[in-house]
Amino acid sequence: MRSRWGTTLALGGAILLAAGAATAGTGAVAWAAPETAAAGPAVSLETGRYTGAQSVTLTAAPGAEIRYTLDGTMPTRASTAYSGPIRIERSANLTAIAFTPTTASAPTIRGYLIKTAEQPLAQFAVMSDIHLSSDSPALVKKWEGYFDTLKRIAPHPDAIVSNGDQINDNNHDTAADHRFPRAMLEQNLARTGMTDTDVLVTFGNHDDYVDRMAAQYPKDWFPQLDGKGYYETKLGGFPAFVVNTESWTSAQATWLYGRLSTLSKDPATQGQPIFVFGHRPIPNTVWDGAQTSNPGLKTNLDDFPQVVFFSGHSHLNITDERSIHQDTFTSVNEGSMSYEEIDSMYQAFGAGLAKEHTIPTAQSVLVEVYGDRVEVDRINYAADAGRTYDDAGKWGFQQNPPFRSTGTLAGPTWVIGRGATPAEIKSKFVYTKANRNASAPSWGAEQPTVRQTATGPVLRLPQAADDQFVNDYSLALKDVAAGTTVNLVGANDRLAADYVFTPRPAALDIPLAVRGGGKTNQPVTPSPLVAGREYEATLVAYDSYRNASAPRTFRFVAGALDRAALDAAIPKAQELIGTASRVLGDETPAQAADFGFAIADPAAARDRISQLTAQIDAAGAPEGANAAAREAAGPATQDEVDAAAAQIVEGTSALRQLVATVDRAPLTAALDAAKPVVARAKDDTRAVADRLRAAQRSAAGVSDRLNVPQPGIDAAAHELDAAVEAYRAAGTPTPKPTPKPTEQPTPKPTTGPSTPPSTGTGTGSGTDEGDGLAKTGAESLLPAAGAALALAAAGGGLLLRRRRNA
């Protein structure tokens, strides 16, 4: 009965597999990947903010090869190989994976902010939508991790701004919940030593009412004017304003416009950046106006290019370059510290697709003011791959902190130029519609495939490349024979590229089935693909500015399995099994090449051969079977095929480690050199001649015997060479006196030729007459073996055992 379970782990475009062990003696084989991947490479430099170029060292387990990237993408086997310390000269995400021939570790990722020696004039963090209405242990642990990360990046910021939606209130009756974000901030500021850091909060749509919220915080956190939710302050000496976007009134507009006009005209402040914080974004700015409101606020700010306006509310991620906008002033979306959003598109939820816009990531920005510029760094606090809903449609995300991605960079630094006047400042705007990215994604060499899994067909899509990132894909399917369109998703629907995750996946596994109605909490509707039918798929990649790649079209047969790797692994395994079995004497006849190997641990080798043989049999590779028969007898899904191939490759590698290569050339040379000397010593009765003959017989026996370790071979050759030299040094023996001739009896006639005794030349003299098999192990030791054989046995660990019956 065929196994119908098993998984693979797709990381970095490579199928990363770990094999389960075959059950010895039963032939049962488990094809499955591990539930958790091995730990990633160790790294010498932690995430943080650094001055000048840095050197980073990576280490992994012996035998593993480290591959790495510096662009935030998942490394593959084609990525740069680590060969020594990596020099980090500019801000980057370093991601590294340790590969073996068939497995890969979990990724190790670190974010490095590389700055010059110039010290910022002001530094502050801006967060939004922290949504804390609980002090559960999981939330406490998560926020402790977030502050530990912030401390590595900015140990003593001038301020932390929480830009609205401190709590989850939707009914304007839970103001008491503000005690949770207040306690979180107070405790973590004290714990990390940020006692001199100011806290500023703004009013958001989830914060109950202004007066109720204000009652929950220290006065200097929310010093609102007349209970209206807006106020003026300073950040590191630079003017800053908090506005109430939930109630934009003429009184607030007049106050803000008047203050901005005064600052803009004053020579002391007209060249300074002015920071304005409001919960909701402004129309026609970030993300092309998505989830925006308060056009009156935009009118207020249009006359002041030195304004940098920060907003949250939308939860729209800051990895997307649409999160910064410059026209008449600068707008920055600072993301969310609870969860992020993307454009609404299909995401994979288990075995089916569902249309969803939320992503389980947390992000915010760090702002630094310099004499000629303002730098805005985008920070991930949680960007591990995942979903906001589980496969059953239950809301839940960012489990089990700390996260691998905490402290990584969500994108390159945004640089806002400063000038002496408002006009000069505006002339330095670069994040404008006119400068929008126009480069389209492009396809790489690796082709997409459709894999048959236990839950249905899955599109494995190597991601297209882009100068920023690929946002999404369109997919069209056609039944080739019928010429009809297969309705999986709508023509205008898109498949998420998961670009917000860090590291960004190098390949996507997209199930070709949809959950009922495209809803996360609905069962999966069976795939519309029919097994055995040929389909044509057409893919187009898009960036966030809708620049489109050329179409990529390929064909596949639904349900077909790709056994190329498996069928290539099996013959290599069988060849090694044959060699090892002959070296052990378990198979005959021996081949000449078998004398070039030795196995020190026969029991371990026989166990490995048994396991590997069972795996090959279970993989559907009986002797002489055709391809259809092999597929019918073997693994039922592509995951199982790949796992079986990995098991056989790993098993072959493990067996190969037990089969050592030996060099018999010195022994052969010693035997050849000894031949004429032994011939001269034929009638010599001295002890030195006896030693020579014993060493020659011993060396010949070793030469004719299988499975002799290298020390035994070397010892026999050394003893023979030493015996030859000793004989030569002893000189020619003194001839005996010639006896007087006596009358010899006439010899009796013989009935056939006589057979001379074996001289042990190493060309067959170590085998018994009538025995066509090369001897293996200690049972073929010649009785006449002398000191050389004893030395060989002691030095090389000759295996004293009886040959197993074939």
The predicted-structure confidence for 344-396, as pLDDT tens digits, reads as follows: 999 999 999 999 999 999 999 999 999 999 999 999 999 999 999 998 899 98
Two tokens at 603?
């029991």
pLDDT at 170: 78
Residue 94 near residue 112, CB atoms below 8 Å: yes
pLDDT of residue 17: 34
Alpha-carbon distance of 444 to 76, in angstroms, equals: 13
182 pLDDT more than 90: yes
AA identity, residue 368: E
Confidence of residue 805 (pLDDT cuts 50, 70, 90): very low
E strands present in 334-455: 340-349, 352-359, 362-369, 373-382, 409-417, 449-453
Summarize pLDDT for 648-661 with one digit per residue, the tens: 999 999 999 999 99
Residues in the chain: 806
| pLDDT above 70 for 802 | no
Six-digit token string for 708 = 């002799």
d(CA 644, CA 618): 9
Check residue 632 and give its pLDDT: 64
Q: Read off the pLDDT band of 796 (50, 70, 90).
A: very low
Give the DSSP H or E segment for 646: helix 638-658
pLDDT of 623 = 52
pLDDT of residue 102: 84
Whole-angstrom distance, CA of residue 530 vs CA of residue 479: 9
Joined together, the tokens standing for residue 109 give: 């990722």
Confidence at 29, pLDDT banded by 50, 70, 90: very low
CA distances 793 to 160, 608, 702, 715, 781, Å, are 75, 26, 10, 9, 10
pLDDT of residue 31: 44
pLDDT, residue 9, reads 30
Considering Cα of 382, then 385, then 388, then 391, what sign does the dihedral take?
Answer: negative
Point out the least confidently predicted range of 50-59, 65-74, 396-405, 731-740. Answer: 731-740
Between 802 and 712, the more confident residue is: 712
- Residue 26 pLDDT more than 60? no
DSSP string spanning 65-80? EEEEESBSBPP-TTSE
Rounded to whole angstroms, how far apart are CA atoms 640 and 3?
A: 8
How confident is the model at residue 745, as a pLDDT? 55
Q: DSSP letters along 395-428, please?
A: B--S-SSSPTTTT-EEEEEEEEE--SSHHHHHHT
Q: Is the pLDDT of residue 16 over 50?
A: no
Instruction: Note whether 472 and 542 are within 8 A (CB).
Output: yes
H helices, E strands: number in the chain: 14, 37
Residue range 117-164, pLDDT digits in tens: 999 999 999 999 999 999 999 999 999 999 999 999 999 999 999 999
Q: Give the pairing type, strands 122-127 and 362-369.
A: antiparallel
Q: State what percent of residues in the chain have pLDDT above 90.
A: 81
Sequence spans of domains, the chain: 9-13+562-661, 37-114, 118-435, 449-557, 665-734+760-796
What is the per-residue pLDDT for 794?
A: 35
Provide CB contacts within 8 A for 794, sequence distance 6+. Answer: 715
72-76, 597-601, 747-751: which has the minimum mean pLDDT?
A: 747-751
742: confidence class by pLDDT, cuts 50, 70, 90: low
For residue 444 the two structure tokens come to 């790489």
User: Within a 10 A sphere around the Cβ of 248, how many other Cβ atoms?
Assistant: 20
Query: Which residue type occupies 469?
Result: F
DSSP letter assigned to residue 206: T
- Of 58-67, 341-350, 617-626, 796-805, which gets the smallest average pLDDT? 796-805
- Give the mean pLDDT of 445-462: 96
User: What does the pLDDT read at residue 10?
Assistant: 32
pLDDT top residue among 435 and 781: 435
Distance CA 384, CA 408 (A): 10
Q: In percent, how much of the chain has pLDDT > 70?
A: 85
Q: Residue 310 is inside which H or E element, if any?
A: strand 307-311
Backbone angles phi, psi at 575, to 5 degrees: -65, -45
Question: Is the confidence at residue 793, as pLDDT, over 90?
Answer: no
pLDDT-derived band at 20 (thresholds 50, 70, 90) equals very low
Q: What is the pLDDT of residues 399-453, one digit of tens each?
A: 888 899 999 999 999 999 999 999 999 999 999 999 999 999 999 999 999 999 9
> Could you give the maximum distance between any two Cα atoms of the chain, in Å?
149
Domains 37-114 and 449-557 share a fold: yes
Winning range, highest mean pLDDT, from 32-36, 169-173, 474-478? 474-478
Q: Is the pLDDT of residue 614 over 90?
A: yes
Q: Within a 10 A sphere around the Cβ of 603, how many other Cβ atoms?
A: 9
Res 101 pLDDT > 90: no
Cβ contact 489:475 at 8 Å: yes
Q: Is the pLDDT of residue 733 over 50?
A: yes
Instruction: Assign domain 37-114 to a CATH class.
Output: mainly beta
pLDDT at 736: 64
Q: How much is the pTM?
A: 0.80
pLDDT band with cut points at 50, 70 and 90 for residue 749: very low
Judged against a pLDDT cut of 60, whether residue 494 lies above it is answered with yes
Q: In the predicted model, what is the mean pLDDT of residues 702-708? A: 96
Which CATH superfamily does the domain covering 118-435 fall into? Metallo-dependent phosphatases (3.60.21.10)
* Token pair in block for residue 81: 């190989």
pLDDT of res. 758: 35
| pLDDT of 760 above 60 | no
pLDDT reported for residue 296: 95
Greater pLDDT, 101 or 724: 724
330 sits in which H/E element: strand 330-333
What rounded mean pLDDT belongs to the chain?
87
pLDDT grade for 234, boundaries at 50, 70 and 90? very high
Of 61-65, 169-173, 305-309, 769-773, least confident by mean pLDDT is 769-773
Structural fold of domain 449-557: Immunoglobulin-like (2.60.40)
Q: State which amino acid sits at residue 459.
A: L
Asked if residue 684 has pLDDT above 80, the reply is yes
- The tens digit of pLDDT for each residue in 316-325 reads 999 999 999 9
316 Cβ partners below 8 Å, 6+ apart?
A: 286, 287, 290, 291, 322, 323, 333, 335, 340, 341, 342
Q: Give the pLDDT confidence score for residue 630 in this predicted structure.
A: 59
Q: What is the pLDDT of residue 621?
A: 63
Can you give the pLDDT at residue 39?
86
* b/e sequence 643-665, b meaning 16+ C-beta within 10 Å: bbbbbbbbbbeebeebbeebebe
Look at residue 588 and tell me whether its pLDDT is greater than 70: yes
User: First and final CA of the chain: distance in angstroms?
Assistant: 31
Nearest to residue 430, comparing CAs of 408, 447, 413, 454? 413
